Amino acid sequence: MLIRVLACLKQALRVTYQLYFNIFGQITTWKVGIIGSTEKRVKVITGYMNCSSS
């Protein structure tokens, strides 16, 4: 039973990984934008774009 649940979770994660990654990246950018300066936000966005393109 546990193995079945894990297999289902693994499949679900594989399908939705990109979606969650995008959401997490946007939240991180948003937090940095509020807490830090615009310069920091630009660095995060640039780093995020570099990560997603590679």
pTM across the whole model: 0.28
CB 29 within 8 A of CB 48: yes
Phi, then psi, of 37 in degrees rounded to 5: -95, 170
Query: Which pLDDT value is given to residue 5?
Result: 83
How confident is the chain (54 residues) per 10-residue block, as mean pLDDT? 82 74 74 62 69 63
Q: Please tell me the predicted confidence (pLDDT) of residue 40.
A: 60
Could you count the other beta carbons within 10 Å of the beta carbon of residue 40? 13
Q: Which residue has the tokens 């830090």?
A: 36
| Angle at 19 (CA atoms; ends 16, 25), nearest 5 degrees | 135
Q: What is the pLDDT of residue 17?
A: 72
Chain-centroid distance, C-alpha 48: 9
Whole-number pLDDT of residue 30 = 66
